[in-house]
Amino acid sequence: MKNLISKIWPWAVLVLLTGVLIYSNDSNTSLNVNLPVSHGVVARVIDGDTFDLSTGERVRLIGIDTPERSEAYYDEARSLLVEFVEGSEVALAKDVSDKDQYGRLLRYVYVEDIFINNEMLLRGFARATPIEPDTLFARNFFEAQKQAEAKSLNIWE
């Protein structure tokens, strides 16, 4: 029996680790603990992918782009982000870059167990727009966009 266990345990560990990796790459992945995370309270939503924290810092959601003020679904995308985050405490996960050229914090945003960047894509209010080097969830984002496109949701009508 001891000999059998010594032969099987490396494979059992491999299977377990594979399951963990598959789970962590799910399109609704939970917060990756390897990313630097901070918390803040959202004071005001600017548009569908940008908001201000109570500290005065501006946050831009990484990897997505929502309609601009002059485009269809701007109001709906902004309203959805208001519903998700305004007045709420959010977890802010940093990828590689800290800020963009406009001084906005670049972050993956979570409210409780909702991955906001991904949810905006799944609901058809954003396009996957990965910009190097912040591409950790690019594959997940393209998959979420594909799901919204297949359902002809909102910007994909």
Catalytic residue set: 60, 68, 104
Taking alpha carbons only, the member of 58, 143, 127 closest to residue 92 is: 58
* Angstrom distances, CA of residue 144 to CA of 46, 61, 125, 135: 23, 15, 11, 15
String of b and e for 89-128 (b: at least 16 CB within 10 Å)? ebbbbbbeeeeeeeebbbbbbbeeeebbbbbbbbbbbbbb
Which residues does 157 contact at the CB level (< 8 Å), separation at least 6? none
Q: Which residues pair with 60 in a beta bridge?
A: 50, 106
Taking alpha carbons only, the member of 135, 134, 116, 136 closest to residue 126 is: 116
- CB atoms near residue 87 (< 10 Å): 11
